[in-house]
Structure 1
């Protein structure tokens, strides 16, 4: 790996130089083990500690198949799917790998007694398999996490509809929290060159998810002037949703949990902020068994005070059970609730009268297709959307980084250095960087 790192850092290695590098038969990777899936039995979700289940050791380099690429991973990032994988909830991811293994001989490579995790990366292409023409060794890239086979007709209008659609590093093996990753070539996109490796790696999953959920015609189809309620507006998903609302001429109504987070969204240019700690909403009783519609009314009043009496056109939903009833209630007649996650619980409850009698819509949204991901990455490369990176760990500290996200002791995105020996490397466009440095660093140290 040292020869690979030296080639990357030299700045003058050619594509042929990278193609001629000898690849190791093993590489360092963060992974969970199949024989440990019961290790947290009897513990509550909050008690489960990713530092105990995530191991950083050498694993074997897989065989590269057609349409695939090996990437030297300079940096990656933590997402909630890594948290779920590390605590084996809601199910063990080894079931995903076993199903993939039954699908084909190439799929069988993924069915192993260990699962290399991670759904983000920035790095350099090392080798491409047969049939790959767009990318070559030496290309500086980021990767989105949609893995598809596209052998069925279903996915050829929207690749997210492919029956074999999977999330790389969660439902497949050989993810990005490693020194080398294996991806499909149609996951690759150009690295935004005004960003460091860790900054470029961090938008990936959440940026593409936010784009589809809010901007795309497959999601909220947001237009100028829309009032958009954004839960967790300074978080990993919400931080990008807030930027997209502002960038697209909408009016974000940003829900945050404290004044520090309120200041972050205000620094983006969002001036309509609801601080949950000040409002002290109690949508559920203490037992979590019954919701209080009076609290929905109170949220709606707070929204109208900010919007000049208007209701919400689009709700950017991801907390799930805790907020979903309120989200349905406060949406205007004919409005849309888009949902992509359920971090506070999967079993949503809402009063259906407010949905059907007011012609509201609930739209499910799950990651993004290649085109949507490309557009989201393009906006980052243009300096119109910025990373939300707040802190970076080393790969050896991946357990602690994942625990921080598990405990919600983080802000924005948490990055992980893989091959990169330190932060701040990988920038090629210093002039553009200088124009956006304050926005790039907005979440740093929070």
Structure 2
């Protein structure tokens, strides 16, 4: 691995990397972040909050997997932590080994994925090392990012929208050999050009969440947002919400940003949002107890939204918290409006008053990641400097457990990155002139975290 890293760092062009990398032998093993099958019950009896990713995530040497047709091996310079990495680490809603076992039974190459360990991670930025038979678009030395849609495309169902393919999986969550590692195995059609003005860790951060937010909010497969729409965005400074906020602003919509602290509210203002609700400060409690919601709080919330929008209800609700917020989301949406959901971080069993849905002709749309075209378009907007990474903090590979813990406990803002092969932050920029134009936006979340840290130190 050292020779591969040296070749990448020594070259000042992708052409130079190509010549060096192609000539180097692959190592027999590499370091990766894993969970172990024999530890899947380690948190039995604990609440979700009590489960600690630092205890379940391991960094260890694993063998380089066999390269198949239509696939690529990528030297991973940087990756990032998503909620699916957290779910994997705490074995919720079920251990991911069930996914790997199912994949292992699907075809001969799928058997590679059914292992007693799972290499996790659904983002990467890095350099192509090898390509398998039938790969023409990518070559050793290419600087790439990867989206996390792994799909077989042998069924007609997937050819109109690849997310509908019955053999669609999320790479690094429902497959093995993910991106939180020094080498990753991907299908070649997961690869996209690395934005030239970003560092490795910045380029690795948007992938999953940026594409997910694009489909959910912008695409015709999601809410189909248009100019003038009012868009309620839960967790507007978080991994998903920070991209939804940017898409709303860039698309001529008005984001109504829901956050949980003054610091997160300031980040939304820095992105350009004006309508902001700090639900902690304003004391919204949508559940009276574990079993009973409080419609009075829905109404109070709806009134607050109208105060911020000039008397209008929201056209779209960008949903991902799930159980805690879903009843309120259905209630506050305007007649004929859309609630689009991509996750359930606070619980999967949603409850809402259906009268407010059917009698007001509202729609609930399920949205899961993005198809290849949507992921490519979302990455293109990053490469053009229209949408920016929301990276706030970076950890070394050995501290991925701590990174996942902070995401699990909602101690983060934006995205949390992980350096894999990259020895330090700030490497990989190919277009410094473009970077200079967008530097304040690129560093917005980091600067906010630094300012918060300084203020905390002063208070102490």
Q: TM-score, normalised by structure 2?
A: 0.96
Q: Deviations over 1:412-440 (max 9, x none)?
A: 10000000000011101110111111100
Alpha-carbon deviation of 1:93?
A: 0.3
Q: Using a 3 Å threshold, how does the CA distance of structure 1 residues 391 and 155 change in structure 2: closer, same or farther?
A: same
Q: 1:203 aligns with which of 201, 206, 209?
A: 206
Q: 1:24 aligns with which of 19, 23, 27?
A: 27
Q: Are 1:9 and 2:9 matched, yes or no? A: yes
Secondary structure of the structure 1 residue equivalent to 2:118: strand
Secondary structure of the structure 1 residue equivalent to 2:379: helix
Q: Deviations over 1:381-419 (max 9, x none)?
A: 000100010000000001100111111111110000000
Alpha-carbon deviation of 1:17?
A: 2.5
Q: 2:372 aligns with which of 370, 373, 386?
A: 370
CA distance in 2, matches of 1:437, 1:384: 13
Secondary structure of the structure 1 residue equivalent to 2:324: helix
Q: Are 1:47 and 2:46 matched, yes or no? A: no
Secondary structure of the structure 2 residue equivalent to 1:342: coil
Corresponding pairs, count: 445
Q: Are 1:144 and 2:151 matched, yes or no? A: no
Q: Using a 3 Å threshold, how does the CA distance of structure 1 residues 123 and 332 change in structure 2: closer, same or farther?
A: same
* 2:333 corresponding residue in structure 1: 331
CA distance in 2, matches of 1:14, 1:97: 34
Q: Deviations over 1:74-100 (max 9, x none)?
A: 000000101111111110000000000
Q: Deviations over 1:148-174 (max 9, x none)?
A: 000011000000001000000000000
Q: 1:86 aligns with which of 76, 85, 89?
A: 89
CA distance in 2, matches of 1:418, 1:345: 32
Q: Note the residue ranges of structure 1 that are not aligned, 5 or more in a row.
A: none
Whether contact under 8 Å (2:8, 2:17) holds in the other structure is no
Alpha-carbon deviation of 1:16?
A: 3.3
* 1:108 corresponding residue in structure 2: 111
CA distance in 2, matches of 1:14, 1:50: 36
Secondary structure of the structure 2 residue equivalent to 1:85: helix
* 1:290 corresponding residue in structure 2: 292
Q: 2:185 aligns with which of 168, 182, 186?
A: 182
CA distance in 2, matches of 1:363, 1:296: 21
CA distance in 1, matches of 2:209, 2:129: 26
* 1:390 corresponding residue in structure 2: 392
Q: Deviations over 1:15-66 (max 9, x none)?
A: 2322121101111000001111111112111111111111101001110000
* 1:168 corresponding residue in structure 2: 171
CA distance in 1, matches of 2:48, 2:230: 35
CA distance in 2, matches of 1:90, 1:330: 29
CA distance in 1, matches of 2:17, 2:80: 28
Q: Are 1:74 and 2:77 matched, yes or no? A: yes
For the aligned residue pairs, the C-alpha RMSD in angstroms reads 0.7
CA distance in 2, matches of 1:121, 1:400: 19
* 1:319 corresponding residue in structure 2: 321
* 1:96 corresponding residue in structure 2: 99
Whether contact under 8 Å (2:146, 2:207) holds in the other structure is yes
* 2:412 corresponding residue in structure 1: 410
Alpha-carbon deviation of 1:278?
A: 2.2
Q: Deviations over 1:217-243 (max 9, x none)?
A: 000100000000000100000000000
Q: 1:349 aligns with which of 346, 351, 356?
A: 351
Secondary structure of the structure 2 residue equivalent to 1:178: coil
CA distance in 1, matches of 2:68, 2:194: 23
Secondary structure of the structure 2 residue equivalent to 1:46: coil
Q: Note the residue ranges of structure 2 that are not aligned, 5 or more in a row.
A: 450-460
* 2:455 corresponding residue in structure 1: none
